[in-house]
Chains A and B, each alone.
Chain A
Amino acid sequence: EADIYQTPRYLVIGTGKKITLECSQTMGHDKMYWYQQDPGMELHLIHYSYGVNSTEKGDLSSESTVSRIRTEHFPLTLESARPSHTSQYLCASAQGGGSPLHFGNGTRLTVT
């Protein structure tokens, strides 16, 4: 079934660790996005991409990096996790300009 998949669903790690959150979509969408969201609260744009080898920073990008080597894959890396990174991370994709976002189920990250 065409969808957008995020792994892991839950992750607990210690401060200072490097982590990568995975996101893959099987819909062939060009546009992909990462948002940070505390449960039920505002979605903050971290990074987005409008195609292979293109990435742009959002409002909360300074402590993370992304890559877009393949259309279907858009991983997010935190080089050194901190307790302030504890949150839910949502990946999304869209077909093209002016199209709705399809969200993954999210990764709940806890940094101890």
Chain B
Amino acid sequence: GENVEQHPSTLSVQEGDSAVIKCTYSDSASNYFPWYKQELGKRPQLIIDIRSNVGEKKDQRIAVTLNKTAKHFSLHITETQPEDSAVYFCAASLPTGGFKTIFGAGTRLFVKA
């Protein structure tokens, strides 16, 4: 079955610096890769997503890149702010078997003011 690995598990950056989180997936049939942000005590919320026919997508300070050949995708946050502090999850969705969605283990991002 699909397996998603996410690194690092914890990331601490200074306000204004960039943060990069990396994920790899195992099943080449996965074709949809969303990223979620979860603040303390709240539900995960989608921040950006990318489909397998696209290599890069950007939304203001957030960007995601996808390398299908290597089966990895990354989240890039530029000009980080304290409110970016949260747990970030990557996920991969398989189109077969009902669009099973598997999550990475999460990255806890701390942005120091």
Chain A residues within CB distance 8 Å of chain B:
31, 33, 35, 39-43, 45, 48-50, 54, 56, 58-59, 90, 94, 96-101, 103-106
Contact = CB atoms under 8 A, between A and B. Distances in A.
Nearest to A33: B101
A28 B100 CA distance: 18
Interface residues of B, number: 30
22 contacts: A33-B101, A35-B103, A40-B87, A41-B105, A42-B106, A43-B44, A43-B89, A43-B103, A43-B106, A45-B102, A54-B98, A56-B98, A90-B43, A94-B101, A98-B31, A98-B93, A98-B95, A99-B32, A100-B46, A101-B36, A101-B44, A106-B43
Interface in B22-67: 31-32, 34, 36, 38, 40-41, 43-46, 49, 51
Given A40-B38, A43-B103, A49 B98 contact: yes
B95 A100 contact: no
A33 B102 CA distance: 11
A103 B44 contact: yes
Contacts of A99: 32
A100 B49 contact: yes
B98 A48 contact: yes
Contacts of A48: 98-101
Contacts of B101: 33, 45, 48, 94, 101
B46 to A, nearest CB: 4
A42 B103 CA distance: 7
Contacts of A39: 41
The winner among B31, B93, B95 for most chain A CB atoms within 10 A is B93
B41 to A, nearest CB: 8
